[in-house]
Each structure stands twice: as C-alpha cells, then as structure tokens.
Amino acid sequence: EIRARILSAFERAEVTEDDQRREALLTFVVVGGGPTGVEMAGAIAELARKVVVRDFRHFNAASARVVLVEAGNRILPTMPACLSAKAQRQLEGLGVEVLATAAVTHCDGEGVMLADGRHIGSACVLWAAGVMASKAAKWLGAAADRAGRTVVDERLNVPGHDNIFVIGDTAAVKNEDGRPVPGIAPAAKQMGEHAAHAIRALIADNPVEPFRYRHFG
C-alpha cells in the first residue's frame, strides 16, 4: 500500500499542470526519526534518484523532496550519538532533508504543521513515529509513559506487584544505562524469556534477577 501510494504520487505529478500541486505530490514527509523512519526516508530518496529517475517526461524525479521529521534532538535516539550523526550524513547524501527538534502538531491532506509554525505541503505523509501502546497501564492502575506504556521496575514487574509482569511494546523498560529498551522483536523475546524464568523462580521461592537487555546488533 505504501509503495503504491508513493508511485501514484509520481504518476499524478506527471499528468498535473498545476505547478503547486506537482510540488506537493513530489514532497514526501516521513514523521519519526527512529529505525523505521530512517529506512523509509532513505528508500524513497533512492527510489526517486535511482529507480524511477528516467520514467517521467514532465519533471525530474530526482528533484523529489524527501523530508524526515523528528521531534527529538537527533534521529535514531536509542543508538549512540555517533551512529545517529553518521546515519544523518548518509541520508543527506541521498538528498533527504532531516529536521530534528521538529514536532508535528497537525497532519491533513495538505501536509503537516510543525510546532514552530512551519507548514510542509505534501500529498504523501508517512507516519513512523510509533503508535499508542495497549491500555494495560490503565486497567492495571499503573503509571504510564507518554506513549501509554506501563512503567515497570528492573524485574519487569508493575511496582508493588511482584506477580504482575509487563513485557514487549506494552512495557516502558530502562537499560542499565538509563536509556529505554527499544521496541523491537528481539527485546520482546528477551523479556518473555525473563518473565518465564522469573515466574519459575517465584514458584520455587527463589530470588528474581533483574532484566538485562542484550543488543546483538
């Protein structure tokens, strides 16, 4: 569906005679500078500049504008700053505009509005800034972070309840260095294994070890 919409934008830009409309059709806004947004922005830029660059007569596909918008102060915030900087240089080398500290406050068929008042006209906006977590925190009566994830302790328990474990995308988990554990499948699998071992330890009346996320690259 995403690929079809992107290609459709190029095709509609080919047949429109309205320069302003063509500009909007050739502006692709990706909201969210995490791994998904970074990969998506790079893929669109490569598509425009290397794949469909000779497919249209009335405009230069390589002139398509790809904008990656991130509310935080850098893209790939869960990774070391040096890797964020390297990724940004590579994206900019592909022609991607990277806008950090730029929160999106409104999105509609005309594009996106940023918190600083700037409007980016676009007929193709892609949301990669994550989704709201499940309502587990609400029905557990537990604290939640701004994405709705349940705040847990170092053993993945709801604080004060050593018989309730919250794992995966529903849990807000911190690493030993205080940074959040990324919401990816390997992390969720490790949490699941930890919860299983912890439950067995509780049944045997043994101590439960803290959860330690291991990043395998």
The residues annotated with a catalytic role in the active site are: 39
State phi, psi for 27 to the nearest 5 degrees: -110, 120
CB-neighbour burial class of residue 77 (10 A; exposed 0-12, middle 13-18, buried 19+): middle
For residue 185, the SS3 value is helix
Ramachandran assignment for 108, one of left (phi > 0), alpha (psi -120 to 50 degrees), beta (any other): beta
Three-state SS for 39-93 is HHHHHHHHHHHHHCCCCCCCCCHHHCEEEEECCCCCCCCCCCHHHHHHHHHHHHH
**Which two tokens mark 41?**
């922005």
Dist. CA 29–CA 17, nearest whole Å: 22
Dist. CA 138–CA 144, nearest whole Å: 8
